[in-house]
Structure 1
Amino acid sequence: MAKTTTIQLFKNIQALVEQSKQELYVIANTTLTETYYHIGRLIVEHEQQGSNRAGYAKETLINLSAKLTPVLGKGFSVDNLENMRKFYVVYKDDYTKHITKNQKSEPAVRKLKKIPISETVSRKSSNIPISEPLVRKLELSPFKLSWVHYLLLMRIENTVERKFYEIEAAAENWSKRELQRQFDSALFERLALSRNKDKVKELSKKGHVIQKPSDAIKDPYILEFLDLPQQDFYSENDLETAIINKLKDFLLELGKGFLFVDRQKRIKMDGDDYKIDLVLYHRTLRCFVLIDLKIGTLKHQDLGQLQMYVNYYDEEIKDEEENKTIGIILCKNKKESTIKYTLGKGNKQIFASKYKMYFPEKQILKLVREQ
């Protein structure tokens, strides 16, 4: 066994304690959420056995809170108990299906593995090794998010929409704040706008799956976090600077898989210098993504210029094993006919999306999608 220094011993013990704390957080989070679910179940079952008179359910919660709070603490107010009850009502079918499925499947032999768990406030957690019994318990639980996530999700009435946000929050390790923003910015409606009904249903089963360039595109993009005025008295340079200053938020709004590479990327052709506003890379699609920012209405010259940048990257920059470069123009306004006749039917690399500095009206987006 290799000899360790006192400093290394300190670091090893510190790492072990920190790991144990994270493991405790993981199991406590799952256990707490399941406990609240079963409290909700007990309340509903009690109500079903009791009186049908008006006010009976409310009286039950008031009396229950009065008895539980002195013994168990502040977490059992009438409002919290009502949330637990609603949690059971909303998720009982999903819970039953999940448990039934796991009972039918034969448990496989598992090694120590790493499981990412979503946090309540910030992305501080990392993948941590967890013992086999704990892994099994977490796998059996249908609840992969924290209680505060479910408090938000329960308010989403549309089952398809709610399931989509639940899948994405778990897969992308969204904090509660990030989940709230994605919901407020109508991510589901924006993705659904470019999909038929069958594809929309897939969003609730698999989340946002990216298989081709168009899957990674939203329209519009919501940039309220830039804190720029909605009027037109900021420049394209102001817009770019604001994006760089809030790069993490911008990448979150773009969606999964985007990585920042460069800004104002200089390229030279025939002695002339050109600058690409933003250069990104998409991990899933394995390609460069070039973004051009326009504060006004999109023009056909803008599309032609971006096409030139994309062609240059395909010829001069990308490796053979990488896929073709994608170009995205973010503009204040656009005309579909300009895009259609400039790019042609075979276009699969250039996209034009509007950006907005405020959250969209969800009902309007729903009406547009239904039409």
Structure 2
Amino acid sequence: MTKGLFNPKDYEIFLLDLKSRIRSAQIKAALAVNRELVLLYWQIGRDILVRQEQAGWGAKVIQTLSNDLKQEFPEMKGFSRSNLLYMRAFAQAFPDEQIVQEVLGQITWYHNIALLDKLKSNEERLWYARQTVEHGWSRNVLVHQIESGLYQRMGGAITNFDRALPPPQSDLATQLLKDPYHLDFLDVTSSVQERELEKALVDRIREFLLELGVGFAFVGSQYHLEVDGDDYYIDLLFYHLKLRCYVVIDLKVTEFQPEFSGKMNFYISAVDDLLRHPEDRATIGIILCKGKKKTAVEYALRDVNRPIGVSTYQLKDSLPEPLKQSLPSVEQLEMEMETIIAEVGMVDNSNTADS
């Protein structure tokens, strides 16, 4: 190879690699700074608690401390009286420094404030914190997930996964399913027909993917399958990237009926035979219906060998009034979805650089 010749292709690859490494370093640096800041706030809150408990300092000391710290560190914006009170509440709620370093330090201080404001249980706070880390939720998405009761809805579907799937996959699949699914972003009423509901979901597929959760990739609607010369159409077909399997969703605008499980069993068998790659795991079916009765669903799934879950959905006109008011608009959801996509892209870039 002749020295001194400039190869544009080699340079482009070199530049892309450098950009990826720089972005990765920036993300790691930002995370390290965030952890230090959250830990600092926790330590300040802990020290305030100790002095109030042991030295009898009253509540007025918070304002005095705020004034003195703002005077000494005018460039820092975190020493208001209200923020010092949050620091105290943060340390009181989480006395274990290890929890702060390992979990809460991985999300921003504003995320932690939302956890303190919106939730009373530390179990729920830590669950939402871990979900935020795993899925890269912005603060607004975190608040939306809390106000929509995600913690209570996760794993609430009735399934036969424990019998139809091996333990690692069955546990994960069970936790991925919600009950009910909130479809409040749709401009339809509870009297909607199945095809109208399906079309509305496809039209708002980004919001539906946000409600389904991270990992679902949309394959198609009215997905065509040919079996023995006859045509069949799956309402909605997805692929789950973490489970490594197809997910069939059958929409029903009525309460669950036992015959729904037989139809889903057929769809799963057909997808396993016609679409499933040898490295894919067993296809999962979700029957999404307007309502269900627990015993009827359990009887219908008892002797079915294919993995099926039954969940319900709620439209905006069927949601409780307080929840309706707390839910974000379609425009807000679209903005949050764009944020998630950008954050996932950043994480992907950092993973590429690390590899």
Q: Gapped runs of 5+ residues in structure 2?
A: 159-167, 323-355
The 2-side partners of 1:354 and 1:186 are apart by: 15
Indicate the SS of the match to 1:262.
Answer: strand
Who is 2:346 aligned against? none
Q: Gapped runs of 5+ residues in structure 1?
A: 100-139, 196-207, 363-371
Is the contact between residue 258 and residue 281 of structure 1 (CA under 8 Å) also seen in structure 2?
yes
Who is 2:113 aligned against? 151
How far did 1:166 drift?
1.6
Who is 2:146 aligned against? 183
The 1-side partners of 2:23 and 2:40 are apart by: 25
Who is 2:49 aligned against? 44
How far did 1:193 drift?
4.7
The 1-side partners of 2:225 and 2:62 are apart by: 67
CA distances 1:118-172 after superposition (whole Å, capped 9, x unpaired): xxxxxxxxxxxxxxxxxxxxxx786111111111222322122222112221122
The 2-side partners of 1:46 and 1:278 are apart by: 59
Who is 2:63 aligned against? 62
How far did 1:82 drift?
0.4
Match runs of 1:349-364 below 5 Å: 349-358=307-316
The 1-side partners of 2:308 and 2:98 are apart by: 45
The 2-side partners of 1:14 and 1:342 are apart by: 54
How far did 1:23 drift?
4.2
Who is 1:83 aligned against? 86
CA distances 1:167-203 after superposition (whole Å, capped 9, x unpaired): 22112222222222221221222236579xxxxxxxx
Q: Point out the more displaced range, 35-44 or 295-304.
A: 295-304
The 2-side partners of 1:98 and 1:65 are apart by: 23
Percent of residue pairs bearing the same amino acid type: 31
Is the contact between residue 157 and residue 311 of structure 2 (CA under 8 Å) also seen in structure 1?
no
Normalising to structure 1: TM-score of the pair? 0.70
Is the contact between residue 104 and residue 112 of structure 2 (CA under 8 Å) also seen in structure 1?
no
Is the contact between residue 155 and residue 176 of structure 2 (CA under 8 Å) also seen in structure 1?
no
Indicate the SS of the match to 1:319.
Answer: coil
Indicate the SS of the match to 1:76.
Answer: coil
CA distances 1:90-119 after superposition (whole Å, capped 9, x unpaired): 2222x14777xxxxxxxxxxxxxxxxxxxx
How far did 1:32 drift?
1.7
Q: Point out the more displaced range, 260-269 or 330-339.
A: 330-339
Normalising to structure 2: TM-score of the pair? 0.73
The 2-side partners of 1:213 and 1:13 are apart by: 38
Indicate the SS of the match to 1:151.
Answer: helix
Is the contact between residue 210 and residue 284 of structure 1 (CA under 8 Å) also seen in structure 2?
no
Who is 1:247 aligned against? 205
Structure with greater contact order relative to length (CA < 8 Å, sep ≥ 6): 2
Who is 1:227 aligned against? 186
Change (3 A) 1:15 1:221: closer
The 2-side partners of 1:141 and 1:191 are apart by: 20
1:30 and 2:32 aligned = no
Who is 1:122 aligned against? none
Who is 1:171 aligned against? 134
1:307 and 2:265 aligned = yes
Q: Point out the more displaced range, 161-170 or 2-11.
A: 2-11
The 1-side partners of 2:210 and 2:92 are apart by: 32
Indicate the SS of the match to 2:106.
Answer: coil
State the AA in 1 paired with 2:78: G
How far did 1:320 drift?
3.3
The 2-side partners of 1:33 and 1:255 are apart by: 27
The 1-side partners of 2:52 and 2:171 are apart by: 47
The 2-side partners of 1:340 and 1:323 are apart by: 24
Indicate the SS of the match to 1:92.
Answer: coil
State the AA in 2 paired with 1:187: L
How far did 1:289 drift?
0.8
The 2-side partners of 1:323 and 1:178 are apart by: 30
How far did 1:327 drift?
1.1
1:334 and 2:281 aligned = no
Indicate the SS of the match to 2:187.
Answer: coil
1:318 and 2:276 aligned = yes
CA distances 1:213-238 after superposition (whole Å, capped 9, x unpaired): 434322222222x2334x32433333
Is the contact between residue 186 and residue 360 of structure 1 (CA under 8 Å) also seen in structure 2?
no
The 1-side partners of 2:99 and 2:107 are apart by: 18
